[in-house]
Amino acid sequence: MEKPHDQVPDPLDGYELLEKLGEGGMAVVWKARQISLDRLVAIKMLSPSFTEPDALERFRQETRHTARLRHPSIVQVYDAGERDGVVYLVMEYIQGQSLGDWIAGAGRLAPADLLRVADGVAAALDDAWDKECMIHCDIKPDNILIEADTGAVKVADLGLSRAVGIHRTGERVSGVIVGTPNYVSPEQAEGVPDLDCRTDIYSLGATLYHAATGELPFRELGGDGAMEGHRSGQLEDPVDRIEGFPLPVAWLLEKMLVRNRAYRPQLWRDIRKDLELVRAGRLPGVLPEPNQSTLKRSLRRIKPKPDKGQVPPLQIKASALPSRPTLPPSRPRPSVTAAEASGSLLLALVLAIGTVGCGAWWALRSRDQRIHAAVSLPVKPENPIPEPEVVVSGRPGEGEAPDGFNWEHPAYLRARTRVGHAAEALVGWQTDPRSDLLAEARAATVEALELLDLCGDIAPPGVDLQPLQDQARRLAQQIRAAERTPPDDPPPMEAGVLSLATRWATQPRTMDPVLLAEVTKLFQGQAVPSDQPFRRSADTTFASVTFLMPLTEALDRLGQPAWIEDQPLTFFPYPDQSLTLRRYQSPRPQAYDELRLVTDLQDQVVIMQLVQTQPAAPKLPADPLQDRWTLVDPVTGRVSTEPSERVTHRIRSTPPLLRIDSELLAPGEDPARSTSTYRVSTLMPTRLVGLLLYRLAVEP
């Protein structure tokens, strides 16, 4: 029998439920304690009715994306799963209040607080869009949290609304997300499926309007009425509601609440630039035209004239016209008949019409040339790349082009060219993996999609923009995949097999002779050089973790230690572009400060390190006859820089495990006593040592 949603659920393994924090139609949130790490967490349990296979799979995908994000303004996701028909999400616990609670208590926010909230949310969603192309779809005051101690702004439920995909009324819509009606963008209200970061920009604008005025947008219209209000209604300008309301903030709200997303700010970085201007007391850049926004512009706000840096409208000054020629003295005009006069008048009229027509044609031609020049600017003017003629579908002369591909509007032509440019750059990157080619492909794709979005409002009937939009989106997906996966990676390998880049055996290009000698001496004789990647074994290394165990499983066994940072492992003995060093807070702080895991391309654990950075008494025997070492850490390549410091190593080889204990000793006040300032225990499979020795022995 299904447990009622409002009763205390059965405890999850490893967690102790403490108190209920809140409940809505979609989920209930509990404050809990993670027993293994003795830390507070928030557990969101979705409604028991949320069990449809498609919805569950969507939930898993979105939470995986969210868990990869690391940003100080995003509520961190620790774990997710399903038990006894209940889907749950374990998240960072924030001690504080929501923006909704703040508004309810204060009535409305001061402009400085308003901009601080906007800055935190914009930074978080900019990071989510840039790294994972993730959007929130339900930005509202209740999903923005404020830490009590620091005042830090945190965005909650990122990805959850998109995973659930439920109407406010409970109606399920495949692939379409409708957020809270009072904050949704017009395209959300219309059910547009291809949402992007601009929908969150609008919702943040509506949220900031609520915070600035204390009035819920379109509160009086109800749910469906509020969504219609965002499509066709208008909100009163806060300048007319609040005495002394800053004009730059009002302009920012109007800009974020532009109805047509084609004329709304296109990226979060645009909003962040505007926030910098507004904080400095200046107006945002590129102000909207009248009646474009849901925010009705007050008569107290007048759009300023363009700055000197902006191009003014084309005007012809009198001084630029040719001077009137001097005519000879007039002679007596001969008399003419009425017929001749009528003919002359008709001729003059024809000439006048022709002159006006030619002038209009020339003006329109000049305007089109200016538009074409404006949309034809290269992405990098300092290093222009010739753009070949692109035929998106088919080849020249092979049949008739699809509908719309003969449209000669310059913005559309530019979009076609940029799609071709992106495809060309992506192909070039696959053969020559330079980061600038990938960046160029990304920039070209973004520009093409923006231009096509603009074209959607002006395209004549019969013009089909969809094929080119689909191709640009496919390119964007390929570019995102390429950014996450180096081009020389091997095809997907079976689980439990060491996964390295295809050129892993290439000898390091730059090798410090001293470090090369010390690394060789440290590893020599511990394994047989070999170029054969190895498989996972059942041999335990530390805390029930085995080599080539998936990272997620290893972290579970280690008690989900708090993440610090990830960085590529670049120390020269290790395979290039193959390994990642992941740092975590120690699950056992009384024994060591930091836990480090090195993973391969499939996120399988290859090396483990236990690091102690606090000064302590030495543990390794101090042998005065021991060779002098420079290398302190055999994984990160840390070296000793002070002549007075001494490095000691102890190697324990018990195949299939190699353990290297390293210690950096600094002299104390008593010359006979030293202090350990850095101690690290490195555990790696002997088969990996064989790969390193093979790589060092490869002829350049």
Task: Average the pLDDT over 432-456 and give the result.
Answer: 83
β-partners of residue 659 are: 652, 683
pLDDT of residue 25: 62
pLDDT of residue 619: 84
Q: Which residue has the higher pLDDT, 612 or 425?
A: 612
% of the chain with per-residue pLDDT over 70: 73
Task: Average the pLDDT over 366-391 and give the result.
Answer: 36
pLDDT of residue 224: 82
Describe the chain by its helix, strand, coil percentages, rounded to 5. Answer: 35, 20, 45
Three-class DSSP category at 361 = helix
Q: How many CA atoms lie within 13 A of 201 on its CB side?
A: 30
pLDDT of residue 508: 62
User: Which pLDDT band holds residue 310 (cuts at 50, 70, 90)?
Assistant: very low
pTM of the model: 0.48
pLDDT of 313 over the 90 cut:
no
Task: Average the pLDDT over 174-201 and give the result.
Answer: 80
pLDDT of 171 over the 80 cut:
no
- Given 119, 138, 200, 270, the catalytic residue: 138
pLDDT of residue 194: 78
pLDDT mean across residues, the chain: 76
In degrees, rounded to 5, the angle at the alpha carbon of residue 374 between the alpha carbons of residues 373 and 378 is 85
Is residue 556 part of the annotated active site? The answer reads no
Range(s) within the chain of domains with CATH label 3.30.200.20: 15-92
User: Which pLDDT band holds residue 541 (cuts at 50, 70, 90)?
Assistant: low
CA 671, CA 677: separation in Å to the nearest integer? 16
Query: In sequence order, which residues have a C-beta less than 8 Å from that of residue 574 and are 6 or more positions away?
Result: 635, 692
Range(s) within the chain of domains with CATH label 1.10.510.10: 97-279
User: Which pLDDT band holds residue 540 (cuts at 50, 70, 90)?
Assistant: low
pLDDT of residue 41: 92
CA 586, CA 647: separation in Å to the nearest integer? 24
pLDDT of residue 617: 85
CA 313, CA 283: separation in Å to the nearest integer? 21
pLDDT of residue 368: 42
435-454 exposure pattern, b = at least 16 Cβ within 10 A, e = fewer: eebbbbbbbbbbbbbbbbbb
pLDDT of residue 14: 86
User: Which pLDDT band holds residue 485 (cuts at 50, 70, 90)?
Assistant: low
Nearest to 125 by CA among 49, 73, 84: 73
Task: Average the pLDDT over 272-292 and give the result.
Answer: 91
Q: Which residue has the higher pLDDT, 359 or 95?
A: 95
Task: Average the pLDDT over 323-329 and give the result.
Answer: 34
CATH-assigned architecture of domain 15-92: 2-Layer Sandwich (3.30)
pLDDT of residue 406: 54
Q: At 290, which amino acid appears?
A: P
CA 515, CA 508: separation in Å to the nearest integer? 12
Which of the listed CATH numbers 1.10.510.10, 1.10.10.60, 3.40.50.1980, 3.40.50.300 matches domain 97-279? Answer: 1.10.510.10
